[in-house]
Amino acid sequence: MKIAVLSVQGAFIEHEKMLSLLGAESFEIRQKRDLEQEFDGLILPGGESTVMGKLLKELDLFDTLQKKIKEGLPVLGTCAGLILLAEKLSNDENVYFGTLPVTVRRNAYGRQLGSFYAEEEVKGVGKIPMAFIRAPFVESVGKDTEIIATVEGNIVGVKYHNQMGISFHPEVTDCTKIHEYFLKICQDYS
């Protein structure tokens, strides 16, 4: 099994480390020709969604990745990655892939002091540590989108068919459960 990690900006190396700890093969998507190979899953890391969105277009990665997600490629979006997947942003006019039926608020906990840590249950995964860094949260979900995690009443994890979006950063903790769960989804797909 081979997992692609979008590596144009943000916390991609941390995801690769998690995957390697779990014995999964991964590679970085940095340019168009990286998309010529086959892969079983895609991780969109945290970082700055505006920068990643711009680079996805400039590097001509956007259309191919959007098509693959629409066709059912398993994708995990963390933090800015969740913003890239969202169908709508409540406080930003941009829409990127727009494949995940949710409305997301960027920097929902504030821009500067918005970093904190929590421990909560994720459906299908168990109780895990969650690191929030200038995180978004989900304000509302479409009818087939499942809410898999909330923290203090705010939605921080969703799943819609092949797409999973979380507000927090599992890759900066030492808990590999989210990645294990995602690899299972990829296994079912491949």
Pick the closer one to ligand GLN by CB: 109 or 160. 109
Cα gap 118→28, rounded to integer Å: 29
5 binds ligand GLN per the rule CB under 6 A: no
106 binds ligand GLN per the rule CB under 6 A: yes
Q: Which ranges of 59-176 does DSSP label H, i.e. alpha helix?
A: 62-70, 80-85
Binding mask 42-61 for ligand GLN (x = CB under 6 A): ----xxxx------------
Cβ at position 34, least distance to ligand GLN in Å: 22
- Burial class from Cβ neighbours inside 10 Å (0-12, 13-18, 19+) for residue 37 reads exposed
> What does the DSSP 8-state code read for residue 72?
T
Number of residues lying near ligand GLN (CB under 6 A): 11
Taking CB under 6 A as the criterion, the residue among 64, 90, 103, 107 binding ligand GLN is 107
Pick the closer one to ligand GLN by CB: 2 or 50. 50
- Cα distances from 138 to residues 38, 68, 168, in angstroms, run 31, 23, 12
79 labelled catalytic? yes
165 binds ligand GLN per the rule CB under 6 A: no
Catalytic residue among 14, 15, 169, 179: 169
80 binds ligand GLN per the rule CB under 6 A: yes
Catalytic residue among 79, 87, 175, 179: 79
- With beta carbons less than 8 A apart as the criterion, state whether 10 and 45 touch: yes
- With beta carbons less than 8 A apart as the criterion, state whether 42 and 6 touch: yes
> What does the DSSP 8-state code read for residue 26?
E
Which spans of this chain sit near ligand GLN (rule: CB under 6 A)?
46-49, 79-80, 83, 106-107, 133-134
